[in-house]
Amino acid sequence: MEPVALPLGRPREERADAARNRAHLIEVAREMVAELGADKVTMDGLAERAGLGKGTVFRRFRTRAGIFHTLLDEEEKLFQERVMTGPPPLGPGAPAAERLVAFGRARLEFLVEHTVLARASLDPGRPVPAGDSPSLFHVHMLLTEACPDDAASGTLALQLVAALEGPILLYLRTQDEDAPDPEAVVHNLTTSWQVLVERVCG
């Protein structure tokens, strides 16, 4: 039996200066993405523009992809707040199937809006994370309420999340002249998502 490591005491809180540096770096990185585009943002450039040492930037983000992962994570927190505490049907208070439809619509709009960050946050040196996203937890929770027998294994939630989030990064080409209209993409995908949810929960 493998030994289990137990945490000793409370986790160390972030120092005030480190928290200030983090907030400053995130704000500067957000400005650089808006002004220059994600492809022009580098670790060295961020350090220079933020007026901080390169070591500080590398410790904070580890890799260039980490910059965009952090920016996307900040936006993700705001999105999750809408899901958990916002008005129905996206937030609590509506039937589970209605919330699933609303979640898919809002999630697709979120992904289209943040496609550049999502693409840039993928680190080619690491596997794409799967199976542990907030979306998976939320979809599984709603499926368990709407159709508990089908949702029991968790596989259905995983497949629905893959159908919801996968097409955005694969289908949208943000810097291609022949890229599809994002509004049309959202409309088509949300319509399909609603059909899928209604049939699964029917």
pLDDT in tens, 48-58: 999 999 999 99
**Does residue 117 contact residue 174 with C-beta atoms inside 8 Å?**
no
Q: How confident is the model at residue 129 (pLDDT cuts 50, 70, 90)?
A: low
In which band, very low, low, confident or very high, does the pLDDT at 112 lie, cut at 50, 70 and 90? confident
How far apart CA 132 and CA 155 sit, in angstroms, is 13
Measured CA to CA, the distance from residue 138 to residue 112 in angstroms comes to: 20
Is the pLDDT reported for residue 20 higher than 60? Answer: yes
| Domain boundary assignment for the chain | 15-61, 65-200
Say whether pLDDT at 11 is over 70. Answer: no
| pLDDT at residue 7 in the model | 47
Rounded to an integer, the average pLDDT of 137-153 is 92
Q: How many CA atoms lie within 13 A of 173 on its CB side?
A: 5
Cα 43 → chain centroid: 22
Contact in structure between 190 and 179 (CB atoms under 8 Å): no
CATH architecture classification, 15-61: Orthogonal Bundle (1.10)
Share of the chain above pLDDT 70, in %: 80
Other C-beta atoms lying within 10 Å of the C-beta of residue 147: 16
Predicted confidence at residue 5, as pLDDT, reads: 46
User: Is residue 29 pLDDT above 70, yes or no?
Assistant: yes
pLDDT: which is higher, 169 or 20: 20
* pLDDT surpassing 70 at residue 178: no
Mean pLDDT in residue range 11-34: 84
pLDDT in tens, 43-84: 999 999 999 999 999 999 999 999 999 999 999 999 999 999
DSSP letter assigned to residue 154: S
